[in-house]
Amino acid sequence: MAKNELIFNGNEKQVFSTDDPTRVIFRYKDVTTAYHGVKRARFAGKGALTNQISALLLGYLNENGVETHYISTIDEREQLCRMIEIIPLEVVFHNRIAGSLATKLGVEDGMKPANTILDLCYNNDELGDPLINRDQAVALNLATYQELDLMYDIVRRSGKLLTDLLHKAGIELVDAKFEFGRAADTGAIIISDELSPDTCRMWDEATGERLDKDRFRLDLGDMVDSYGIVLEKLKNVMEAE
Ligand code: 5GP
């Protein structure tokens, strides 16, 4: 499929239109940012890793009854995806309380609650992606109550599927951020952004080592090596399935 115009140039990804209005091409960059773009660096090979990890995780959800925007992998850096109308909301799934949630609640980073926690955030960089509640989201016309119910259901199912899959690979899914859109081809609400160590916290179950973007956020050492470990572990477990 022909790659046409650049329609979105994000920090870590670019999106191109194609000759089919219901299809786009996602290109993963080597750039990494944190703290809403305040911290920024380039790591050779990072884009190829997030592209491949995301393809495996999104493909796995597709195969297990959760619709996502991912269609197929084009090459090391690019994937073919479904065009969507963006819903500017994020739902963050937490198996553990880590990062900004731990700071907000004043608990130890990594505390394990008995329940899973879902947070709804307004995807708005200028406001710093604040927490928003359902009534506020509906008041801003970001989504309907019915769509919010669907998004929560998708996140609960996806969170469980990914937690179990990563566990088989010896990786603990600590938390994960999901974004959504309305698919241009069917109108369905689908997951519409990457799932990778850039958007999910992933800890090595054996050592507790952080294998995700916290390596960059917290200056813990090489990030590309860790993303490579995640990819290898995932490939091994998925090939065996
Ligand atoms: P926190 O609120 O601690 O920053 O993030 C919670 C989880 O959601 C982490 O897995 C984090 O990677 C992901 N997350 C939340 N917001 C963003 C964002 O704007 N960009 C990225 N890459 N990940 C995010």
* pLDDT recorded at residue 36: 85
The per-residue pLDDT for 37 is 86
Q: How many residues does the chain have?
A: 241
E strands present in the chain: 3-9, 13-18, 23-28, 31-34, 39-42, 70-73, 78-82, 84-94, 117-122, 171-183, 189-191, 200-204
What distance in angstroms lies between residue 199's CA and the mean position of ligand 1's atoms?
A: 6
Q: Hey, what's the torsion of the CAs at 155, 160, 166, 168, to 10 degrees?
A: -160
pLDDT digits (tens, 9 = 90+) for 168-218: 999 999 999 999 999 999 999 999 999 999 999 999 999 999 999 999 999
Q: Which residues contact 51 (CB under 8 A, 6 or more apart)?
A: 26, 28, 73, 76, 77, 78, 79
Of all protein residues, the one whose alpha carbon is nearest to atom 8 of ligand 1 is 177
DSSP state of 116: -
Calpha distance 105→117 (Å, rounded): 13
Distance 112 CA to ligand 1 centre (A): 18
Q: Whose Cα sits closest to atom 22 in ligand 1?
A: 199
* Contacts for 164-168: CB closer than 8 Å, 24+ residues apart: 165/57, 165/60, 165/234, 165/237, 165/238, 166/202, 166/234, 167/205, 168/237
Q: Whose CA is nearest to atom 18 of ligand 1?
A: 199
CB under 6 Å to ligand 1: residues? 92, 99-101, 129, 175-177, 198-201, 213
Q: Is the pLDDT of residue 241 over 90?
A: no
Contacts of 74 (CB under 8 A, 6+ apart): 25, 80
Rounded CA-CA distance 226/240 in Å is 21
Q: Alpha helices, DSSP H only, in 95-220? A: 99-105, 134-139, 145-168, 214-217
- Consecutive H or E run containing 231: helix 223-240
Task: Identify the H or E element spanning 61.
Answer: helix 46-63
How do residues 150-164 score in pLDDT, each as one tens digit?
Answer: 999 999 999 999 999
Distance 200 CA to ligand 1 centre (A): 7
Q: What's residue 10's pLDDT?
A: 94
CA 98 – ligand 1 centroid, Å: 10
Taking CA atoms only, the protein residue closest to ligand 1 atom 23 is: 199
